[in-house]
């Protein structure tokens, strides 16, 4: 019997199908699982959520699964559409994944109100595309990636429409962060309403994953059934990111002396990164000829960081580097820098940590005790209170003075990356959970 759109299937037939397990070998046209990844960010964005979603899609496609993605044109972290990116809907193939690009509004300066419009524009433009995938392609799994929760209702409805299993992966607790960072007014009525809507959305998904134990525990505290929660951390390709045998070629390219100590921040130049402590540390060490600061990236705070750096001879700001140069960039560092704002520290486990550890260099991070970041980097660097500029600068100076300690912490970081953050190990566990979820009968 031919398969028809779910809306045309009699209710009793749909109910019977929901109660039966999926056949992963005969229901796929050759592929084991048909997976629809639904999220605003995707490859070829070089950092953040888009990088991980793109790598996940490519890895699953290489394993023989049929993978499609619904995403926006590349725009992050520069908050500007990539050159040549289409402004309307288009389809492309990328690393074995069929990607549907949906237009969106990209503000040059993303304030709170403009961010809401930005997210809502993608939710609106992607909704009909998701509905068409439900009717015409009928995926077995709809895997929504948040941010953004604006698209979560469409993802849940897409899964319901074609009797697929639904999975929500939370890279960030964006609603908690929006209130804590002051992006949304924290009025009692507003918070109550927003969290009630969030709770309703979370109940729509068969599986919910997130990247850190603390975020998982917070979701359980919101009432999510622990049986539906799973840990799906970010990862690093430890073969691609590895310690170099000698100095990074970027050192000579930038004219940095061989005996200088480089303190590097690489990543999003956003407002929740707490980058002011790097500027303060560079000012504190302005007369120390050994220490050179390098900041590399793009983002909402990039112009402000570049303006401040113009007055500092010991601070260089570099544009975002191509993926092919990431290992050279990370090996430029003698010390990696990972600042955080205090009001975001408990909600975020920075994805850049995996590459830092794999490069075999120590890290100085703003991390309160008993946070996921403090636990993840224990024995691999120095944790100081978030936004404590004096402590941050003192920790950098202490590592600059002690090459043996830097070497020991760097070796421990590399070992930690291989043990806890290896890409193939993490994605293999994800694949096993996807196959089990799709094969299981509905409750």
* Full DSSP string of 63-85: TT-EEEEEEPPS-TTTTSPPTT-
Same domain, 199 and 296: no
Considering the domain boundaries, does residue 275 fall inside one?
Answer: yes
- The number of domains in the chain is 2
pLDDT at 21 over 80: no
Same domain, 224 and 284: no
- Among 24-38, 130-144, 332-346, 413-427, the least confident range: 24-38
Phi (first) and psi of residue 435, to 5 degrees: -65, -40
Q: What is the mean pLDDT of residues 216-242?
A: 93
pLDDT at 15 over 70: no
Q: Residue 354: which of 425, 301, 433, 289 has the closest Cα?
A: 425
427 contacts 56 by C-beta, under 8 angstroms: yes
Strand order across the beta sheet in which 207-210 lies:
90-94, 97-101, 66-71, 34-38, 141-146, 165-170, 207-210, 229-231
What does the block give as tokens for 326? Answer: 């990431």
For residue 442, the number of C-alpha atoms closer than 13 Å in the C-beta half-sphere is: 17
> How confident is the model over 245-289, as pLDDT tens digits?
999 999 999 999 999 999 999 988 876 678 999 999 999 999 999
pLDDT at 5 over 50: no
Determine the 3-state secondary structure of 141 from DSSP: strand
Q: Is 308 exposed, middle or buried (0-12, 13-18, 19+ CB in 10 A)?
A: buried
Same domain, 227 and 332: no
Q: Residue 262: which of 212, 171, 331 has the closest Cα?
A: 331
77 contacts 39 by C-beta, under 8 angstroms: no
Residue 327: how many CB atoms within 10 A of its CB? Answer: 19
Same domain, 167 and 66: yes
Determine the 3-state secondary structure of 336 from DSSP: strand
Same domain, 219 and 268: no
Give the CATH number for residue 44.
3.40.50.2000
Considering the domain boundaries, does residue 59 fall inside one?
Answer: yes
- Strands, E assignment, 72-162: 90-94, 97-101, 141-146
Same domain, 16 and 99: yes
- Report percent pLDDT > 70 for the chain: 89
Rounded to whole angstroms, the Cα distance separating 33 from 26 reads 10
Considering the domain boundaries, does residue 243 fall inside one?
Answer: no
Considering the domain boundaries, does residue 111 fall inside one?
Answer: yes
Distance of CA 198 to the CA centre of its chain: 20
Considering the domain boundaries, does residue 244 fall inside one?
Answer: no
Cα distances from 75 to residues 45, 244, 303, in angstroms, run 7, 31, 17
Residue ranges making up the domain that contains 412: 249-420
Same domain, 415 and 434: no
Same domain, 120 and 160: yes
Same domain, 269 and 194: no
Same domain, 182 and 298: no
User: Burial letters for 124-162: b for 16+ Cβ neighbours within 10 Å, e otherwise?
Assistant: bbbbebbbebbeeebbbbbbbbbbbbbbbbbbbbbbbbb
Q: What is the mean pLDDT of residues 52-77?
A: 96
Contacts with 195 (C-beta within 8 Å, 6 or more apart), sequence order: 175, 222
pLDDT at 14 over 80: no
Q: Residue 389: which of 332, 334, 335, 342 has the closest Cα?
A: 342
Candidate ranges 215-219, 274-278, 425-429; pick with highest mean pLDDT: 425-429
Q: What is the mean pLDDT of residues 225-237?
A: 94
Considering the domain boundaries, does residue 241 fall inside one?
Answer: no
Q: Residue 60: which of 101, 19, 96 has the closest Cα?
A: 96
Considering the domain boundaries, does residue 122 fall inside one?
Answer: yes
Considering the domain boundaries, does residue 393 fall inside one?
Answer: yes
Contacts with 229 (C-beta within 8 Å, 6 or more apart), sequence order: 208, 209, 210, 216, 219, 220
Rounded to whole angstroms, the Cα distance separating 270 from 138 reads 38
Cα distances from 407 to residues 117, 248, 266, 359, 416, in angstroms, run 47, 16, 20, 12, 14
Rounded to whole angstroms, the Cα distance separating 91 from 57 reads 16
Same domain, 292 and 150: no
pLDDT at 17 over 50: no
Same domain, 225 and 260: no
> How confident is the model over 286-307, as pLDDT tens digits?
999 999 999 999 888 888 899 9
pLDDT at 1 over 60: no
Of the chain, the end-to-end C-alpha distance in Å amounts to 25
37 contacts 56 by C-beta, under 8 angstroms: yes
- Strands, E assignment, 331-426: 335-338, 363-366, 381-384
């Amino acid at each position: 019997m031919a398969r028809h759109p779910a809306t045309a299937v009699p209710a009793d037939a749909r109910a019977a199908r929901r109660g039966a397990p999926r056949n992963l070998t005969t229901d796929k046209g050759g592929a084991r699982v048909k997976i629809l990844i639904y999220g605003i960010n995707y490859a070829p964005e070089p950092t953040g959520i888009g990088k991980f979603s793109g790598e996940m899609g490519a890895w699953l496609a290489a394993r023989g699964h049929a993978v499609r993605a619904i995403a926006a044109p590349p725009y992050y972290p520069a908050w500007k559409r990539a050159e040549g990116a289409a402004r309307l809907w288009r389809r492309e193939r990328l690393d074995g994944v069929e990607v549907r690009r949906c237009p969106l509004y990209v503000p040059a300066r993303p304030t709170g109100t403009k961010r809401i419009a930005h997210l809502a524009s993608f939710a609106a433009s992607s909704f009909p595309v998701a509905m068409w995938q439900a009717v015409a392609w009928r995926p077995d799994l709809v895997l929504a990636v948040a941010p953004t929760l604006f698209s979560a209702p469409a993802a849940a409805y897409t899964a319901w429409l074609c009797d697929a299993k639904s999975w929500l992966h939370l890279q960030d607790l964006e609603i908690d962060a929006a209130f804590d960072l002051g992006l949304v007014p924290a009025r009692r009525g507003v918070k109550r309403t927003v969290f009630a809507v969030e709770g309703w959305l979370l109940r729509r998904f068969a599986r919910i994953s997130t990247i850190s134990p603390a975020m998982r525990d917070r979701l359980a505290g919101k009432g999510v059934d622990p049986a539906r929660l799973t840990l799906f951390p970010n990862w690093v390709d430890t073969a691609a990111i590895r310690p170099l045998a000698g100095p990074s070629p970027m050192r000579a390219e930038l004219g940095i002396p061989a005996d200088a100590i480089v303190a590097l921040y690489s990543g999003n130049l956003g407002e929740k990164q707490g980058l002011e402590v790097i500027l303060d540390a560079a000012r504190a060490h302005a007369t120390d000829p050994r220490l050179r600061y390098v900041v590399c990236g793009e983002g909402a705070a990039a112009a402000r960081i570049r303006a401040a750096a113009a007055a500092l001879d010991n601070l260089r700001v570099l544009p975002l580097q191509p993926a092919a140069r990431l290992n050279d960039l990370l090996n430029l560092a003698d010390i990696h820098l990972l600042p955080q704002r205090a009001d975001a520290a408990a909600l975020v486990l920075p994805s850049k940590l995996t590459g830092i550890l794999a490069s075999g260099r120590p890290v100085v991070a703003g991390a309160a005790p008993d946070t996921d970041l403090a636990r993840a980097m224990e024995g691999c660097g120095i944790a100081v209170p978030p936004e404590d500029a004096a402590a941050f600068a003192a920790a950098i100076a202490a590592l600059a003075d002690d090459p043996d300690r830097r070497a020991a912490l760097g070796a421990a970081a590399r070992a930690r990356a291989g043990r806890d953050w290896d890409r193939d190990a993490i994605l293999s566990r994800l694949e096993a959970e996807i196959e089990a979820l799709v094969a299981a009968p509905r409750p």
